[in-house]
Amino acid sequence: MRARPQRREQQLQNNMELKLEVDGDRDRRDLKSWDEEIWNNPAVLEDVKKEVPGYLQQL
């Protein structure tokens, strides 16, 4: 699965959070919640499994 293109800009802005050092349970819980919010939301995901072989052939 991957994020839909129209949401990509918003995700890139959110990726700043991934560059932070996570050293506490509260930070881990917050990041886990943020991750689950994305992965459990079908409105921002699309199934791309069928596209993967084509991308791999380009490598």
- C-beta separation of 1 from 51 below 8 A: no
- Residue 10 has a CB neighbour count (10 Å cut-off) of 10
Q: pLDDT tens-digit profile of 37-48?
A: 888 988 888 888
What size, in residues, is the chain? 59
53 pLDDT exceeds 90? yes
Distance CA 2, CA 8 (A): 10
Local confidence band at 29 (pLDDT 50, 70, 90 cut-offs): very high
Task: List all residues 6 or more positions away from 6 whose beta carbon is below 8 Å from its beta carbon.
Answer: none
CA separation for the pair 30, 58 (Å, rounded) = 37
